[in-house]
A and B are shown apart, each in its own frame.
Chain A
């Protein structure tokens, strides 16, 4: 069974640009969560999608958004990038709600210059 797939793995953007990251969950998993990982901050919850609806949202500004498609694939978008948005963005899928075991992808490492 294929794991969680995230693309792209690495990307470099400049301040003010926007970025879209993609996540394909494990087949059959319907919940997709997004986390931001920065050194010293651990993993910060961004949002969670289930059945194409955002079910939960962390404490991030409106520049961070996401969506989920009917095949459970998810995308997250960050607009008007800031230097502080440089981070590893992790996607995790779970088979059901309420979410317990999270299966993480390898992440998309975003560098903002």
Chain B
């Protein structure tokens, strides 16, 4: 089955700096890669996703890149703000198979 590894497990940045979180996956059939943000006491919320036919996707300060050959994808947050502080999860899934596999999460702290 799919195995998703996520790094780093914790990340601390200064407000205004960029943050990068990386994930690798094992199943070459995976074709959908979402990123979720989980704030304290809440459930994860989808912030951006990318499909395997696209190499990069951007939404304001958030961008995701995908390298299918290397089986890795990354989340980039620019101009970080204190409200970006949360736990971020990557996931990988196969269209038609609803078993979405998640990484272990990255706790991002943005210092004001």
Which residues of A does B touch, CB under 8 Å? Answer: 4, 31, 33, 35, 40-45, 48, 50, 55-56, 58-59, 90, 92, 94, 97-107
Contacts and interface: CB of A to CB of B under 8 A. Distances in A.
Nearest to A100: B32
A107 B97 contact: no
Contacts of B34: 100-102
A112 to B, nearest CB: 20
Contact of B102 (A42, A99, A101): A42
A97 B89 contact: no
Interface of B: 1, 6, 9, 32, 34, 36, 41-46, 49, 89, 91, 93, 95-105
A101 B34 CA distance: 8
Contact of B99 (A45, A90, A101): A45
B98 A55 contact: yes
Contacts of A90: 43-44
A43 B44 contact: yes
Contacts, number: 67
Contacts of A43: 44, 89, 91, 102
A101 B104 contact: no
Contacts of B104: 40-42
Contacts of B36: 102, 104
Closest 7 CB pairs of A and B: A104-B43, A42-B104, A43-B102, A99-B98, A42-B102, A48-B98, A98-B96
Contacts of A107: 43
A106 B99 contact: no
A31 B98 contact: yes
A106 B42 contact: yes
B93 A99 contact: yes
Given A4-B43, A42-B89, A104-B36, 19 more contacts: A33-B98, A40-B9, A42-B6, A42-B102, A42-B103, A42-B104, A43-B89, A48-B99, A55-B98, A56-B98, A59-B1, A92-B43, A98-B95, A100-B32, A100-B95, A102-B34, A103-B46, A106-B41, A106-B42
